[in-house]
Amino acid sequence: MAHLSFDPARTALLSMDFHASIVSVYVKDERLMQRAAEVLNRARSAGMTIIHVQVGFRPDFPEISPHNLLFGAIKNSPQWQKMFESDAAKLHPSVAPAVNDIVITKHRVGAFLGTDLEMILRAKEIDTLVLFGIATSGVVLSTLRYASDADYRLVVLKDCCADQDAGVHACLVDKVFSHQAAVVTANEFLESLKSGN
């Protein structure tokens, strides 16, 4: 593992798509949510910007094009729509936003397209992003690709990500993400904060 160091004032932690409904479907490792919660708490204490990214739509889903195969399935399925309604749509209590955290609502897979995320990062002079979320092959991959092209320094917390396909998750964190990000465990990230580097 490469040596990790952070300037907390220029680092943002992106906790992505941890809706209660999504967690219930994707998370098989019962300790993942505990790790994610500890990462968020320690990063807050270190003075990093905490940003929660969530999926959300207006009534009747006007943001969804019929040409979008993934989100079109949500628009056409009352069962899928329930994932984004009432309590199921809320972020999981273990990783819920704290008072000074920022919440971004997105209408696509990645965290950047159609949101004000990049405006907020630029305004706060953030140059480093620590990414984790659900799914590894969805929001994490899409956000990492955009952020890399936008020249952010990137870190992915591999054991705070989940995917329905364990093989796809393993391929991404072991073989793909490392070309554009430092890929580390939650404990390695926490140790870097403890050391003050």
Per-residue pLDDT tens for 43-88?
Answer: 999 999 999 999 988 888 888 898 998 888 878 888 777 777 777 7
**Which of 84 and 112 is assigned the larger pLDDT?**
112
pLDDT band with cut points at 50, 70 and 90 for residue 143 = very high
What pLDDT is recorded for position 25? Answer: 87
How far apart are the C-alpha atoms of 31 and 106, rounded to whole Å?
A: 27
Strands 49-55 and 182-184: unpaired
Name the least confident of 47-61, 117-131, 135-149.
Answer: 47-61
Confidence of residue 196 (pLDDT cuts 50, 70, 90): low
- pLDDT average, residue stretch 1-27: 90
What CATH class is the domain 8-194?
alpha beta
Q: 76 Cβ partners below 8 Å, 6+ apart?
A: none
Entry pTM: 0.93
Range in 24-28, 85-89, 103-107, 111-115 with the lowest mean pLDDT: 85-89
Nearest CA among 22, 106, 108 for reference residue 68: 108
Write the CB contacts of 171 (distance below 8 Å, at least 6 apart in sequence).
none
Amino acid at 85: E
* Number of Cβ atoms within 10 Å of the Cβ of 33: 18
Residue 9 tokens read as 């004032």
The alpha carbon of 52 is separated from its chain's Cα centroid by a whole number of angstroms, namely 7
Tokens of 109: 């897979």
Mean pLDDT estimate for the chain? 93
Q: What is the pLDDT of residue 51?
A: 98
Name, in order, each residue with C-beta under 8 angstroms of 104's C-beta and a sequence gap of 6 or more.
Answer: 51, 52, 53, 54, 111, 115, 116, 117, 120
- Distance between CA 43 and CA 25 in Å, rounded? 27
Of the listed ranges 2-16, 69-83, 92-106, 118-132, the least confidently predicted one is: 69-83
